[in-house]
Amino acid sequence: MHSWFRNRQRRKLLASPFPRPWQELLHDRVWQYQQLQLEQRDKLHNCVRIIVAEVNWIGLDGHFVNDEMKVTIAGHASLMLLGFKNDFMDDVRTIQVCRQEFDDNREFDPIYATETKAGRAHADGTTILSWHHVLSANYYGDYNIVIHELAHHFDRRDGQMHATLNFQDANDQQRWDRVVAEEYADLCDAAASGRWTLLRHYGAKNRSEFFAVATECYFESPDRLKRSHAELYDLLRKFYNLDTVEWLA
């Protein structure tokens, strides 16, 4: 019954024209938007409308979450959904937005100390994002905090969060396991030695962060990722059912 009602509400929502001010926001805030084919753009519009309407938006520290913030965040998130049918990231239930970085206090786990973060994805479907860092996506090449944090939710869909993705083809599954092991080991070595890499060194923290960093690069710098990490690019292309390098053609 809940699914039927939700689908009915979505059909009603998608029947209305996409707001012109929202198009202008996406044009200014999400560089990929300008590169999308008409069919992809229409699909992104649908994803944005559903995410804006259905996510529980909460402002932290007295921060009011307005339509500008919702549409910008939903626009980045929707890029990840373009290759999937009827996937509107329903596992992301709540998005909390703060002005700047926040203190991520995990005192319940003695392994971790309190640290300042720009985003965090929780197992219950809650995502915390710094609005300042959301706006940084168009200015810092491979950095996109929205895509990074929501990649963790994709990673968690199989019940784990260790870059253990599920592929339909057994050969792709074996390739993924091998490539992640090799690429992650190389990134850890680069981070330890200070060697520059296209993938941000933050991905050396653990395999889940490696997947999130690789996903950021896949959507933000697909041409460079394809040139320097061809097999990783190919597997991400198959997982997301999307060839992002075409946006730069």
Tokens 């959507």 correspond to: 219
Report which of 67, 75, 88, 97 is spatially closest to residue 27, judged by C-alpha positions. Answer: 75
Report how far apart the first and last C-alpha atoms of the chain are (Å, whole number). Answer: 45
Burial class (CB in 10 A: 0-12, 13-18, 19+), 101: middle
Domains, in order of start, for the chain: 1-143 (1.10.472.150), 170-247 (no CATH)
Contact 135, 99 (CB under 8 A): no
More confident residue, 76 or 110: 76
What is the tens place of the pLDDT at every residue in 80-93?
999 999 888 898 99
Give the mean pLDDT of 184-213: 97
The mean per-residue pLDDT over the stretch 33-46 comes to 96
pLDDT digits (tens, 9 = 90+) for 210-238: 999 999 999 999 999 999 999 999 999 99
Residues in contact with 70: Cβ distance below 8 Å, sequence separation at least 6, in sequence order:
51, 52, 55, 57
Q: Is the pTM of this model over 0.75?
A: yes
- Of 183 and 86, the one with more pLDDT: 183
Tell me if residue 84 falls in helix, strand or coil.
coil
Alpha helix locations (H) across the chain? 2-14, 20-29, 38-54, 67-79, 131-134, 145-155, 170-193, 207-220, 222-228, 230-240
In angstroms, the CA 66 to CA 135 distance is 14
Q: Is 146 in a helix, a strand, or coil?
A: helix
pLDDT at 199: 96
Mean pLDDT in residue range 182-208: 97
